């Protein structure tokens, strides 16, 4: 059962906050995004590992395009691994570039991949605070997965989607309706 129509204003964007491309973190983020839309595989994926930390500071064309996708997302899935009880600095660098209202009309779903639940909870809290600081709407708990559950990823995502997906879809649809009525 899909929750978001493909016509969602701004579309679905997966922001992968891993320093390397092709990570398991990115795969988990894309899986969560696919479960929330009626067109799996259609989400725009922003791999921060492709941009590198140098270009993030300089704000080159690729970084500006990534920021534009994130700012205009209808649904933003922010996927982050946990390194030493925190999410990677490359994700923090990217989010720090955004002004306090940059994501004020964006529904965000944090996705955290962790080795232990204790570290995952701390990183999730930190990530949610930063997303709120740039205006993101966070209507449901994050999807937090411990690495030893990766083999059962579809079942964990389905359980999370069954519990929280309707609320995510309702908020995204409400924001889309507000944008239509504002025109």
Q: What is the pLDDT of residue 177?
A: 77
Contacts made by residues 144-148, CB under 8 angstroms, sequence distance 24+: 144/111, 144/112, 144/114, 144/117, 144/120, 145/28, 145/111, 145/112, 145/113, 145/114, 146/114, 146/115, 146/116, 146/117, 146/120, 147/24, 147/113, 147/114, 147/115
Domains of the chain (ranges; CATH) run 12-182 (3.40.50.360)
Residue 39 has what pLDDT?
Answer: 82
State how far the Cα of 32 lies from the Cα of 120, in Å rounded to an integer.
Answer: 17
Note down pLDDT in tens along the chain; length 183 residues: 446 655 556 799 999 999 999 999 999 999 999 999 878 889 999 999 998 766 666 668 889 999 999 999 999 999 999 988 889 999 999 999 999 999 999 999 999 999 988 888 888 899 999 999 999 999 999 999 999 999 999 999 999 999 999 999 999 999 887 654 443
pLDDT for res 1: 42
Whether this model's pTM surpasses 0.85: yes
What local confidence, expressed as pLDDT, does residue 109 receive? 97
Chain centre to alpha carbon of residue 130: 12
């Amino acid at each position: 059962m899909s929750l978001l129509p493909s016509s969602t204003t701004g579309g679905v964007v997966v922001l992968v906050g891993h320093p390397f491309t092709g990570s398991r973190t990115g795969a988990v983020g894309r899986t969560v995004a696919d479960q929330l839309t009626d067109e799996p595989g259609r989400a725009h994926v922003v791999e921060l590992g492709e941009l590198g930390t140098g270009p993030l500071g300089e704000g080159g064309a690729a970084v500006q395009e990534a920021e534009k996708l994130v700012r205009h997302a209808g649904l933003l899935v922010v996927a982050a691994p946990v390194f030493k009880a925190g999410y990677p600095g490359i994700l923090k660098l990217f989010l720090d570039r955004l002004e306090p209202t940059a994501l004020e009309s964006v529904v965000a779903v944090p996705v955290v991949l962790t080795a232990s639940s204790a570290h995952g909870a701390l990183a999730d809290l930190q990530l949610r605070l930063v997303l709120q600081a740039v205006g993101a709407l966070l209507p449901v708990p994050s999807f937090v997965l411990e690495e030893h559950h990766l083999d059962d990823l579809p079942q964990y995502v389905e359980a999370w989607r069954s519990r929280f997906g309707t609320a995510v879809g309702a908020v995204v649809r409400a924001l889309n309706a507000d944008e239509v009525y504002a025109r």
